[in-house]
């Protein structure tokens, strides 16, 4: 009964095996008789070799070998080896029907019956031409890389084993350090450090930092073979295999002694020039600052004098004291102009209610400008909050009010007004598209001619008499607007008064929390889902700092040292969620990169990091701006902002004036 079942099943199983073998197209699988003639042929054999089954059956398999291999007897040796040991395996060149060569992996197995009688051979051939070409290309690339590293003479580039012993040495290392390869390979890299650094265990700490964080970077004194010192920039990168096992370290050292000395000399010259310029300006500042302080002291002293009289009468004096406090606080803000003269002020941007701000300082404004000037306000019933520094904005409005008063020596009217506008790109120079509140201060004074209007915001330019102005007021207002993402626009004609427009971005669009509702500063970074972030900066130190911040926030950073490199990475690398780029870079700026990214990946968020107050006005993309230098919290907030799609107001208004 069993024999009958086996007899019935055998043809079925043989048929299934035949279908399986014929279905395989990546391998040539065929049978040879004991003499090496082809006795079966599958679809894979036809694809690889080029012969149809009818053409090749009965032909000797040596047709697939090179003439020199046939002369050397390789086909016969292959069959003899398979017959004697059961298997033959080899790689080499084989020939297709059309004469083309391909690199093949060949396995020949001897086929015997249950009695050990040789029935023939099973031959499996695989085309490895692509793999061999890839391996050859890899070897070529590795050789080119080796030659490149060896050819670099401005940098010492060498490898360390996991314990810190030198395992390779390039020409740059030989030139900078003074050691020949045979002198230093196998020695510990701590030989390059000063005695003080070795006593402080800096070499050990450097390797531990690189192993733990992936990278170590530092500048310091290093020692050459002859004992002389040089100031070095050092980078140590940990090298790991695919399993994460530490293989060693790559160390790059650059001699920057001349650069350091040149920079020190340049810094000293700049400081001397800067001090000279400031001394020249002291004369102009002295009278002007005294004038501004006098205005504020009038408000403070006037409020205190009235409060004293009311207190003697037993009346409420709290409003007068509050007004004096506000005046004193604004007096402190005046001193910040001196700091702003030497460096840009760090703003505390927050949501500000313009209507409440103006109404809250109306009494102080009236005290400052005198009873001859009438203050009027013209605000809509509903006005969104703006993004600005509240203290600096108050100081700016006080400056504009005093300027308006000085333009009306015989008295007049100052009008504070506000309106919301939707601005398109290019509608107002140097102001990007978005929703803004235009806060204006209008006077009825003599106005300015075109020449005066053009120079009005220049530092130290003033039309007031000696001792009546610093010439810094309007330039400070202009700086405040630029730093808060807005713009100062002056409109004036001779004999027709002046209107100062403060274009302030609406706070709700910037997603900035209202600082009034926050009792203290929260230093906790904004939580964002893990992102793959492409960080772009031509300064490697800044780039490394950004990368470390991103890694510490739980993101995966990818580095690019130029805009061109960033674009290549975007084309070649999948999965990038966001781009953080510097603005001032050679060949292509951050804004220009943003425009190219928008064409390449319109769905990709982008954060522009810059230390400049103003950016080109013709930028065609919406950017999240990050002011340099930035903290980790500020970076996290910018990432959170950039990962959300901007919600633009559909009701765009086209008027460029208030």
Each residue's pLDDT tens digit, 213-227: 999 999 999 999 999
pLDDT at 528 over 60: yes
284: burial class by Cβ within 10 Å (0-12, 13-18, 19+)? middle
CATH class (in words) of the domain with range 152-255: alpha beta
Q: Please write the tens of the pLDDT for every residue from 530-540.
A: 899 999 998 88
pLDDT at residue 189, as a whole number = 93
DSSP secondary structure letters along 126-152 = EE-HHHHHHHHHHHHHHHHHHHHHHH-
SS3 607: strand
| pTM of full prediction above 0.75 | no
SS3 301: helix
DSSP classification of residue 526? P
Which range among 87-101, 391-405, 435-449 shows the weakest confidence by mean pLDDT? 391-405
DSSP secondary structure letters along 29-57 = EEEE-TTSBB----HHHHHHH---HHHHT
pLDDT at residue 420, as a whole number = 93
pLDDT at residue 140, as a whole number = 63
Mean pLDDT confidence for 490-506: 89
DSSP secondary structure letters along 74-91 = HHHHHHHHHHHHSEEEEE
According to CATH, the topology of domain 524-642 is Rossmann fold (3.40.50)
Query: What architecture does CATH give domain 2-129?
Result: 2-Layer Sandwich (3.30)
Which range among 136-145, 275-284, 600-609, 637-646 shows the weakest confidence by mean pLDDT? 275-284
Domain with CATH 3.30.450.20 in the chain: 2-129, 152-255
Q: Please write the tens of the pLDDT for every residue from 161-206.
A: 999 999 988 888 888 888 998 899 999 999 999 999 999 999 999 9
SS3 522: coil
Q: Average model confidence (pLDDT) for the chain?
A: 79
**210 pLDDT tier (thresholds 50, 70, 90):** very high
Measured on CA atoms in the order 189, 192, 198, 201, is the torsion positive or negative?
negative
Domain with CATH 3.30.565.10 in the chain: 268-510
pLDDT at 160 over 70: yes
* Pairing relationship of beta strands 101-112 and 87-95 according to DSSP bridges: antiparallel
- Residue with the bigger pLDDT between 457 and 500: it is 500
pLDDT at 8 over 50: no
Mean pLDDT confidence for 479-502: 85
**458 pLDDT tier (thresholds 50, 70, 90):** low
Bond prior to 6 in cis (omega within 30° of 0): no
CATH class (in words) of the domain with range 268-510: alpha beta
Domain with CATH 3.40.50.2300 in the chain: 524-642
320: burial class by Cβ within 10 Å (0-12, 13-18, 19+)? buried
- Report the C-alpha gap between 126 and 124 in whole angstroms: 7
pLDDT at residue 307, as a whole number = 84
pLDDT at 279 over 70: no
Q: Which tokens go with 110?
A: 């001897």
- Report the C-alpha gap between 523 and 513 in whole angstroms: 14
């Amino acid at each position: 009964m069993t024999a009958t079942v086996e007899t019935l099943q055998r043809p079925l199983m043989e048929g299934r095996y035949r279908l399986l073998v014929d279905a395989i197209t990546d391998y040539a699988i065929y049978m040879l008789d004991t003499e090496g003639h082809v006795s079966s042929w599958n679809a894979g054999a036809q694809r690889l070799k080029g012969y149809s089954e009818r053409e090749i059956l009965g032909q000797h398999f040596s047709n697939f070998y090179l003439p020199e291999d046939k002369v050397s007897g390789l086909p016969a040796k292959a069959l003899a080896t398979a017959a004697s040991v059961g298997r033959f395996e080899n790689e080499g060149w084989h020939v297709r029907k059309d004469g083309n060569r391909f690199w093949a992996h060949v396995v020949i197995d001897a086929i015997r019956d249950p009695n050990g009688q040789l029935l023939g051979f099973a031959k499996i051939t695989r085309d490895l031409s692509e793999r061999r070409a890839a391996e050859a290309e890899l070897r070529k690339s590795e050789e080119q890389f080796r030659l490149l590293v060896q050819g670099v003479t401005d940098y010492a580039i060498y490898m360390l084993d996991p314990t810190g012993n030198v395992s390779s040495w390039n020409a740059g290392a030989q030139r900078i350090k003074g050691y020949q390869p045979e002198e230093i390979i196998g020695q510990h890299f701590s030989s390059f450090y000063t005695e003080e650094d070795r006593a402080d265990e800096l070499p050990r700490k450097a390797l531990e930092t690189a192993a733990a964080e992936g990278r170590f970077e530092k500048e310091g004194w290093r020692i050459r073979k002859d004992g002389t010192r040089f100031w070095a920039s050092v980078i140590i990168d940990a090298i790991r295999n695919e399993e994460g096992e530490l293989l060693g370290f790559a160390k790059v050292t650059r001699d920057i002694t001349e650069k350091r000395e040149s920079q020190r000399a340049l810094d000293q010259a700049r400081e001397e020039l800067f001090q000279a310029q400031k001394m020249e300006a002291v004369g102009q500042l002295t009278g002007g600052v005294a004038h501004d302080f006098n205005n504020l002291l009038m408000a403070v002293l006037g409020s205190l004098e009235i409060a004293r009289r009311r207190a003697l009468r037993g009346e409420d004096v709290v409003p007068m004291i509050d007004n004096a406090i506000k005046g004193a606080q604004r007096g402190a803000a005046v001193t910040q102009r001196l700091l702003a003269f030497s460096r840009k002020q760090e703003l505390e941007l927050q949501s500000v209610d313009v209507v409440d701000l103006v109404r809250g300082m109306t009494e102080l404004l009236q005290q400052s400008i005198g009873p001859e000037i009438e203050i009027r306000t013209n605000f809509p019933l509903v006005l969104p909050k703006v993004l600005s520094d509240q203290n600096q904005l108050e100081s700016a409005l006080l400056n504009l009010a005093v300027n308006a008063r000085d333009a009306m020596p015989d008295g007049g009217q100052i009008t504070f007004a506000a309106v919301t506008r939707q601005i398109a790109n290019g509608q107002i120079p140097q102001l990007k598209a978005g929703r803004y509140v235009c806060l204006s201060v209008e006077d009825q004074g003599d106005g300015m001619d075109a020449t005066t209007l053009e120079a009005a915001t220049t530092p130290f330019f003033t039309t007031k008499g000696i001792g009546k102005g610093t010439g810094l007021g309007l330039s400070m207002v202009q700086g405040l607007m630029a730093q808060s993402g807005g713009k100062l626009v002056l409109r004036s004609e001779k004999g027709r008064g002046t209107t100062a427009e403060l274009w302030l971005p609406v706070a709700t669009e910037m997603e900035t929390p209202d600082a009034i509702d926050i009792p203290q500063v929260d230093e906790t970074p904004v939580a964002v889902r893990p992102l793959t972030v492409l960080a772009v900066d031509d300064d490697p130190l800044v780039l490394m700092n950004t990368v470390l911040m991103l890694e510490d926030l739980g993101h995966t950073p990818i580095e690019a040292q130029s805009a061109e490199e960033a674009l290549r990475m975007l084309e070649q690398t999948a999965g990038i969620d966001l781009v953080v780029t510097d603005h001032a870079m050679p060949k292509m700026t951050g804004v220009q990169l943003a425009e190219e990214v928008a064409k390449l990946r319109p769905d990709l968020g982008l954060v522009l990091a810059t230390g400049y107050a103003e950016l080109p006005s013709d930028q065609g993309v919406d950017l999240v701006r990050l002011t340099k230098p930035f903290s980790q919290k500020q970076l996290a907030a910018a990432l959170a902002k950039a990962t959300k799609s901007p919600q633009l107001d559909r009701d765009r208004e086209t008027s460029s004036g208030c």
